[in-house]
Amino acid sequence: MRNWMLRHPVRFMLYYAWFYLCFFFLLERAVPTPRLILHCALDDVIPFCKYAIVPYCLWFVWIGATLVYFLLRAPREEFWRLCLPLFAGMTLSLLFCAVVPNGVYLRPRAVPGDDVFAWAVRLLYRSDTATNVFPSIHVFNAVTLDMAFQRSSLFADRRGGRVRAAARVLDVSIILSTLLLKQHSVLDATAGLVLALVLDWLAARWWPLFTQPTRRPLPERL
């Protein structure tokens, strides 16, 4: 399995995307009512902002664009160094939601305005339920992608510093958008951050073993 993944990274990403989407939509249908409701005092202090829909939606493009860019431009080791914690964390998040159905009741009763931002937020609320939020996959992915950009050899020079800074601004905006849109609680956003840091720490120690070629057994002597 490992050797197949190393030889076919594009197929691996496509198969995982299919697995993730099927698992996610199955949870959305199978668990309409969460058992664990997440809320803390900080959630009541954070205001609702419809303009946060922009970085929130950019998250979808950001993931795919980053994976393709790292696959085409970065050393293959850096690509897998990103993929391993990214896909592991997304899978663990879905598994936790399957075992402990959770959600938030933070959304405003009505989204004010008739502009494109208000329309997009209302569309998001209709298409995406406020369930299966802990830990926040939006936050987890944003932090994992940001760490990949900050350590990549592609952006080690002065010009790359601007790319790293732009990536940091976008990733922080994505994290804040989850709270400003009332899609996530501070609790599950924090859980997504912690999960990203833990899996990145583990990947730093284990990924070299993953990328080392498998030794074939020596043929037996007659």
pLDDT at 127: 87
Stated as kind and residue range, the H or E segment containing 103 is: strand 102-103
pLDDT at 9: 81
193-102-168 Cα angle (round to 5): 20
Show Cβ contacts of residue 83 under 8 Å, excluding neighbours closer than 6 positions.
9, 12, 13, 67
pLDDT at 221: 44
Binning the chain into helix, strand and coil, the percentages to the nearest 5 are 70, 0, 25
pLDDT at 212: 58
Under 8 Å between Cβ of 50 and 117: yes
Residue 211 CB neighbour total at 10 angstroms: 14
Residue 14 CB neighbour total at 10 angstroms: 11
pLDDT at 121: 96
Stated as kind and residue range, the H or E segment containing 8 is: none
Instruction: For residues 1 and 18, give the distance between their C-alpha atoms in angstroms, rounded to a whole number.
Output: 18
Under 8 Å between Cβ of 97 and 31: yes
pLDDT at 6: 67
Query: What is the identity of the amino acid at 39?
Result: H
Reading the chain (222 residues) residue by residue, the pLDDT tens digits are 666 666 778 888 899 999 999 998 888 887 667 889 999 999 999 999 999 999 999 999 999 999 999 999 999 889 999 999 999 999 999 999 999 999 999 999 999 888 999 999 999 999 888 888 999 999 999 999 999 999 999 998 888 899 999 999 999 999 999 999 999 999 999 999 999 999 999 988 876 665 555 444 434 443
Instruction: For residues 15 and 186, give the distance between their C-alpha atoms in angstroms, rounded to a whole number.
Output: 32
* Structure-block tokens of residue 122: 């209302």
Stated as kind and residue range, the H or E segment containing 37 is: strand 36-37
Where do we find the tokens 């860019």?
A: 69
State if pTM tops 0.85. Answer: yes
